[in-house]
Copies of this chain bind each other. A is one copy, B any other.
Amino acid sequence: MSDREKLEARLVWERPEPASRPAPEPLSREQIVRAAIALADADGLAAVSLRKVGASLDAGPMRLYGYLSSKEELLELMVDAVYGEMASEGPLTGDWRRALSAMAQRTRRAAKRHAWFIDLLGGRPHLGPHVLAHVEATFAALSGAPGFEHIDSVMLAVGTVDAYVLGALRNEASKLERGMNQAEWEAVSGPYIQRMISTGRFPMLAQVVRDATHPSADVVFERGLDCVLDGIAARLGR
């Protein structure tokens, strides 16, 4: 029997009036998004449910539907908020290469602050104001530079770097913090890998384990990025 039913079991006459509700202070998309981001930062994207977000604002889940029309929209707003953070690092300076590199590093830093960001990045196309501003600024940094006279070449360069960054961050994230920490994961997968190698069917993997100097994630990211930028530079001359 619910509390409600328990109350109504008494007659109207002796039943107290409902406590005058404490004038719920109005919400805002910004508050909601902040709460959602806090949850995602703390416990991962899976912890972002309309119920939990609502609860952290002393509201029921349905209350949020006054500000959003679906959970997808909330995620969209979260993405845009992160782009907002990135923009607050200031305008892009330097030549096209420095600009693209800076954008890549900003994205990576954002992904480090908000691990869930990566999972949301590749979803549907993002059209929030901060995203548009981000794209606009990136294009503007390249536009007009020698070799980037036509907008198509700008799009190719930005698109390629973007794709690399997206994939690299996803790979990076997949190797790290999978619920279990790095050590735990290696404890499970290590022996398996060893067993696979000892079958003799994977000589290259064996060589990787034996010879590879595993540089830090930062270095790996930067080297790959340099590669991509070199490719773009090579294309400019042609």
* Chain A residues proximal to chain B, CB less than 8 Å: 118, 121-125, 127, 132-133, 135-136, 139-140, 143, 150-152, 155-157, 159-160, 162-168, 170-171, 173-175, 178, 189, 192-193, 196, 201-205, 207-208, 211-213, 215, 220, 223-224, 226-235
Contacts and interface: CB of A to CB of B under 8 A. Distances in A.
Contact of A166 (B160, B167, B212, B228): B167
Contact of A224 (B163, B174, B189, B211): B163
29 contacts: A122-B122, A122-B174, A125-B175, A125-B189, A127-B189, A132-B196, A132-B202, A136-B203, A136-B205, A139-B204, A140-B203, A143-B204, A143-B207, A151-B207, A151-B208, A151-B211, A152-B211, A156-B220, A156-B223, A160-B224, A162-B167, A166-B166, A167-B167, A167-B168, A167-B170, A227-B231, A227-B235, A228-B231, A231-B232
A223 B235 CA distance: 10
A8 to B, nearest CB: 26
A174 B230 contact: no
Given A122-B167, A151-B204, A226-B231, 13 more contacts: A122-B173, A133-B201, A140-B203, A151-B207, A155-B212, A156-B224, A156-B227, A159-B224, A160-B228, A162-B167, A163-B171, A166-B166, A227-B232
Contacts of A162: 167, 171
A178 B140 contact: no
Residue with the greatest number of chain B CB neighbours at <10 A, chosen from A229, A230, A233: A230
B124 A160 contact: no
Contact of A171 (B127, B156, B159): B159
A228 B159 CA distance: 12
B174 A125 contact: yes
Contacts of A207: 139, 143, 151
Contacts of A227: 156-157, 160, 228, 231-232, 235
